Amino acid sequence: MIGMISVNYKNSPVEIREQIYIALDEIIVFHEYIKKTILLNGLFIISTCNRTEIYFDYNQNGLSQNRIFHKIISCLIKFKKVSEGISPYIEKKIDKKLFTHIFSLASGLESMIVGEYQIVEQIKSSYKICAKNNMLSSVLDRMIQKSLNASKLIRTKTNIGKGAVSVSYAAVEKINSIYKNKSTSIISVGAGNTGQLALESLIKKKYEDIQVLNRTITKSKKIAEKFSLICQPIERIYDLMKKCDIIIFSTSSSKKLITEKNVKEAIASRKKPLLIIDLSVPTNVPKNVGSINNVTLINIDGLKDEVNKNYIKRKNEIEKANTLIIKLVDEFIIWVNNKKIRSTINQFKINFDHLISKVKNNENQNILKKYKRNIINNIKNIELNHDHDTITIINNILLKK
């Protein structure tokens, strides 16, 4: 059984997603943790600002699907030390629906900003860790490789990625709809890919007064030099907050970078409004900051207007991509079922040969051998016809203990 649990932007707000975010350096730790409860054939994890998804390969061994999912979810809840109240936000998928999902995900169809390419790099980063640490089963490994192949094909055969935007771009579009004055004072906190994409978009929009902050001053200087901007140490954030118009947060910090109390103190003397955009998951800014007078807080979920515009632009390309994905998924399922049936045949041979060895009469042995060959040939014919339902029944009958 190949299964997946997902908490994503479609079924949960950022306040829920940030609770179960699994950083890259937590993937191996979680794998070791889950092995203490359930022995999996393979595990793959991807966690981004928009989703945390756990893919697993498991031989049911008498356990129901519901029981298997319960064990995986229970491990996640305990590992992240969150309430079981998170369960209603968890989406479950198996087999064909799961394969369709991962192929669509890699192709940018499941992203908040349809067609964005960042998800491919995120899948590759997670894959690298899982593969290096022998976490993947052969099916999960091939599934990820084929999903990346699907991504390449769809970006070649459709215009899904043509002029694709990012969450950073959407944030800058939001800023531009509110602040037309190009001398607007902007602070960008974070030196990662999201922060740099935001800076590129701000510069393209001709904003002139931009300062860069980061916990590592060397990174701030490097980015400031790259974009010809001013850099400041992160400790100056509250001083700068007294005068700036906009602050954009996009760091990988697991802790809040500002407090409600300090924000209130910083803006006590100012009369103009302050816009804070938090693109981070986990979020960098406490939710209560948004209730402070004269402060507007927008998190990643608050960019839905720009997201909807992007979706409408790409609607026709989405339909083309989905048609391609259906074919690719069907081809992958054939490979999965063929792999299953080969495994079944091999195990059947071992079991049947053991039975034959216990029969002393040569004539009876020959009858059983002929019977074995007929069964195997019939199974292979079913395999050639790709009769998946019958293959599943055969697997259940021949390998049932």
Of the candidates 49, 75, 130, 244, the residue annotated as catalytic is 49
Provide the Cα torsion 353, 354, 358, 361; round to 10°: 0
Cα 312 from Cα 148, distance rounded (Å): 25
Q: Tell me if residue 130 is catalytic.
A: no
Cβ-contact 52, 105 below 8 angstroms: no
Residue 115 has a CB neighbour count (10 Å cut-off) of: 27
Structure tokens that stand for 351 in this block? 């079991």
Q: Tell me phi and psi for residue 246, to 5 degrees.
A: -140, 140
Establish how many alpha carbons lie within 13 A of residue 375's alpha carbon, considering only the half-sphere containing its beta carbon: 18
DSSP 3-state of 7: strand
Q: Is the dihedral of CA 215, 219, 222, 226 positive or negative?
A: negative
Of 343, 321, 322, nearest to 139 by C-alpha is 343
- Residues carrying an active site annotation: 49
